Amino acid sequence: MTIESNSSSKVTLWTRQDIKSLNDLKANGVIRIKRKHLEEKFEDIAEYIIGLYNWFVNKADKMVPKPDGVEFPIWCSISEENMLRPTNNTVVYVLEVDRSEILYFDGVKWDQALNHLYIPKDEEDKEKYIKDIQRKGFKDEFSVFDGPITHFYPEEKQRIIDSWTRVFEIDEWDIFRVQANIWEIRQDMIKNVLYDE
């Protein structure tokens, strides 16, 4: 469950970031995720992740417009219980964010998108999808997007990408499943900074 402050328009969120983000905050008064941050974090798979993040940014920007100069989203936990804890070289920002700046999404569904999988509407849709791809000769759902016969079925790849918008449909409000996206961290949002002990 989301922890709310006294003001009903604000929500408390938690996000773990590289400790170097404190320097960005001091120098610029704001923390924003840049391409270089993703390249440092994801190394060999950075291009793969950046491609998926670009898709996310394109869709999320239509729901909660991003400020000028923002490149990528900042992922946040909606509960202290399920937040990523500070580790060596990271800090956790405890934020108070206006509801209008938050886009909630389903982290389980996002994991499916990260794996280039189809996100079904429901169980019936999943069963129908599996039967359909098997009929077309795909070994399993993991082979549809990048498999050896994918080039024969370009519409299947698009079908998968189109299904990813379901990331923003929250079927189950659960602290282990729901995550929040914000575009930047401003000084006025920060209630506390937690360090590794």
Distances (CA, A) of 85 to 23, 81, 169: 20, 10, 27
46 neighbors 39 (Cβ within 8 angstroms): yes
160 neighbors 64 (Cβ within 8 angstroms): no
32 neighbors 70 (Cβ within 8 angstroms): yes
Q: How confident is the model at residue 197 (pLDDT cuts 50, 70, 90)?
A: confident
Q: Domain 3-115+173-195 falls in which CATH fold? A: ADP-ribosylation fold (3.20.170)
> Three-state DSSP class for 57?
helix
pLDDT at 1 over 80: no
pTM above 0.85, yes or no: yes
pLDDT at 102 over 70: yes
pLDDT of residue 8: 67
DSSP string spanning 62-127? HHSPPPTT--B-EEEES-STTSPPP-TTEEEEEEEEEGGG-EEEEHHHHHHHHTT----SSHHHHH
Which two structure tokens, joined as six digits, stand for 74? 């900042």
pLDDT at 4 over 70: no
How do residues 169-182 score in pLDDT, each as one tens digit?
999 999 999 999 99
Q: State the average pLDDT for the chain.
A: 94
